[in-house]
Structure 1
Amino acid sequence: DSLPVMQITNPPRTLKPFSQALVKNLGLGVSLEEIDINPINWLNEISSSVNINLTQLDISRVRVSDYATAKMQIIGSSDLRKYY
């Protein structure tokens, strides 16, 4: 694997308008690919230095089929990482 050609730092909540404009202006031959991230890994790394309890998860755009996505909120009274 190679390093990314472009990196977006501190992005807005959605990159859709930006990505559409990028593809429109750069034309054919430009491709954007979806990446999978695991925020729990980030949280575990941060919590090795700081005491953190994860009590709420807001998840959106979870693909459930080719034409449908899901959005959910999970709230717990204790650290949700026990159940992840």
Structure 2
Amino acid sequence: MSDVIANRAPVFLLPDAGPLITLAYGQVLDLLLKPNWPVHIVDMVLHEVTRNATPSSEAIRCWIEVNRVSVMTTRTYRHTYA
């Protein structure tokens, strides 16, 4: 393992919408904050979970905003939607 990776603080990176949707339905998104690690979400995942108006998409959108979750930009999203 490289020194750069070994010395970084742990983070939650959410590269898939499934866990967010499941936690939103269970109204337990805050479980992601329990380890007290920074939470990051990939821009494509944010788009996927908020593109349609549903109770879970609104819960996720609000949770991301309130908790200031960092959105990681990808070339795929920029190429497809920007």
Which of the five TM-score ranges fits, normalised by the shorter chain? under 0.3
Larger helix proportion of the pair: 2
TM-score by length of 1: 0.25
Higher RCO (CA-CA < 8 Å; seq separation 6+):
2
- Which structure: larger Rg? 1
